[in-house]
């Protein structure tokens, strides 16, 4: 009897007895995020601790954005609505957060009208320019005022990044908000348990 012939079968049997190693989230250990104090869309002061115990979707943008920010916020909102339907328990433990990079124009009232379009639990956050600069730096987000536009106003130049943070505020993964809601929901489902 050739023992080597049975080696692959033995290896499969042993593997079945031991679960596979859990894959680490892509942003595990990254220095992204941290404490913050900002103002929400209802004019109340909030800190990162107000979201403790919840998964957070952190998106940085601005309400006057003509295209990218509302498109990304819609993908985030639709993805969370899908999760709310398919796994309501998980959905309740996720809070989508829209942090403005344009505190000059994005007052709490402006943010309230904006986030209401995308998901009932979406939180809009603003603050002083110094507070927004600090939270942007903590989340490795670039933002700066662009050139003046004809007819007045200005655009904001900013990085396009959507983070999924764990219930302790640690980064898990980037969410593909530049794709569709299904891609965002799939990535959330992969890392949020």
Q: Is 65 annotated as a binding residue?
A: yes
Distances (CA, A) of 44 to 29, 55, 56, 123: 31, 21, 19, 11
Q: Where are the beta strands (DSSP E) in 85-170?
A: 94-100, 123-126, 143-148, 154-158, 162-165
In whole angstroms, what is the distance from residue 10 CA to residue 35 CA? 51
158 annotated ligand binder: yes
Q: How far is CA 12 from the centre of its chain?
A: 39
Binding-site residues sit at 65, 69, 158
Binding-site residues for Cu cation sit at 65, 69, 158
């Amino acid at each position: 009897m050739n023992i080597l012939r049975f080696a692959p079968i033995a290896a499969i049997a042993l593997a079945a007895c031991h679960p596979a190693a859990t894959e680490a989230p892509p942003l595990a250990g990254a220095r992204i995020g941290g404490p913050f104090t900002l103002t929400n869309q209802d004019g109340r002061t909030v800190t990162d601790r107000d979201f403790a115990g919840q998964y957070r979707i952190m998106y940085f943008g601005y309400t006057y954005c003509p295209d990218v920010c509302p498109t990304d916020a819609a993908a985030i909102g639709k993805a969370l609505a899908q999760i709310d339907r398919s796994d309501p328990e998980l959905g309740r433990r996720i809070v989508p957060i829209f942090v403005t990079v344009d505190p000059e124009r994005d007052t709490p009232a402006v943010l309230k009208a904006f986030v209401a379009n995308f998901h009932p639990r979406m939180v809009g956050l603003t603050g002083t320019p110094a507070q927004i600069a600090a939270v942007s730096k903590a989340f490795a987000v670039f933002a700066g005022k662009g050139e003046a536009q004809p007819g007045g106003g200005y655009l904001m130049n900013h990085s396009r990044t959507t983070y999924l943070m764990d219930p302790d505020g640690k980064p898990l993964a980037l969410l593909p908000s530049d794709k569709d809601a299904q891609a965002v929901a799939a990535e959330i489902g992969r890392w949020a348990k």
